[in-house]
Structure 1
């Protein structure tokens, strides 16, 4: 009954957190999308932790679906990768892809283990 409300509240806070982290990171690293990398890696860890923690369904809706759904961003990650490819910044795109996928999967696994 309250599921959409939990998702909406979590989504609001996830979107705000992502915006603030992205703005902060852009000022420190204007040539590399470190903000997207930070939110996606942190989100991988936190979602893994949530899955391993035995959280209640309402917590999964609020934090997992709502907060993490708005906090992490696959579309921005893909768009930034395409932009680097178009600019022929091959080293950057390889680092970005490898860091996101390899570290993201590892952090999700690690978060799951920590949550258990």
Structure 2
């Protein structure tokens, strides 16, 4: 990776991270599902965008570091998904535990597939 690619990752992350924060705050303030919905939305949206980037055949060299790695990497969050799922496990909230995983993978995998097809 060269310096310009690293800079593109930083620029993409500078957009993805605040957007993730805004989505999370909106979900907390406007829905009963709160942060779990925010995590689901950013992970599914990020899966769609990353699939789109991966599916682009003639994309310029700057697209993957800027959008795929920087933006999607900062927007999506596996660690928050893992933490929220672990909390459900500890609380023995089995329906929420299963729903969180089922929705994330049930929507995320088709989203990345759709994005790839659109690319």
TM-score (norm 1): 0.93
Q: Which residue pairs with 1:63 in the alignment? A: 67
Q: Residue 23 of structure 2 contacts residue 42 of structure 2 at CA under 8 Å; is this kept in 1?
A: yes
Equivalent residues in 2 for 1:1-116, closer than 5 Å: 1-32=3-34, 33-54=36-57, 55-115=59-119
Aligned partners of 1:24, 1:67: CA distance in 2, in Å?
Answer: 19
RMSD across aligned positions (CA) = 1.2
In the alignment, structure 2 segments of 5+ residues that lack a partner are none
**How far has the Cα of 1:31 moved from its partner?**
4.2
TM-score (norm 2): 0.91
**How far has the Cα of 1:10 moved from its partner?**
0.5
